[in-house]
Amino acid sequence: MPVDFSGTWNLISNDNFEGYMVALGIDFATRKIAKMLKPQKVIKQDGDSFYIHTTSTFRDYSLQFKIGEEFEEDNKGLDNRKCKSLVTWENDKLVCVQTGEKKNRGWTHWLEGDDLHLELRCENQVCKQVFKRA
């Protein structure tokens, strides 16, 4: 049985989101707002199908995918660059590789105790986020 990420999760820490946004080319004004946000994630996991909705007072972003099936991601409201995304299991970690203009782009989700962890990667920047169940 794989890990179940389903639930509603609130951000409690956000390390180097600024560096990640700079690597994505997000403008200064948007970064100033975005780094103050405390986004919430709603994850629905049904077998190999996932729905991840990240909401905030400023912008929302939602993603639907199946494990092992590459899809086109538009990153709308983030950096708006299209990429090809592929999510796979690496043991109990959910690993997404986002292939496109930006090198080394992707993210990894895992559970640690009662917390949801997320590492966001772009070029040489790593952002580390931790969420607790709402």
Nearest approach in angstroms of CB 46 to ligand VLZ is 16
Which residues ranging from 10 to 39 are in contact with ligand VLZ (CB under 6 A)?
21, 26, 30, 34, 37, 39
Contact between 130 and 116 under an 8 Å Cβ cutoff? The reply is yes
**Which amino acid is present at 25?**
G
CB of 78 to ligand VLZ, least distance (A): 5
Q: Is 118 in the site for ligand VLZ (CB under 6 A)?
A: yes
φ, ψ for residue 47 (rounded to 5)? 65, -120
Chain-centroid distance of CA 40 in Å reads 11
Neighbouring residues of 23: CB distance < 8 A, sequence distance ≥ 6: 102, 122, 123, 124, 125
Site string for ligand VLZ, 61-100 (x = CB under 6 A): x-x--------------x----------------------
Q: Are 55 and 62 in contact (CB under 8 A)?
A: no
> Rule CB under 6 A: which residues touch ligand VLZ?
21, 26, 30, 34, 37, 39, 41, 52, 54, 56, 58-59, 61, 63, 78, 107, 118, 120
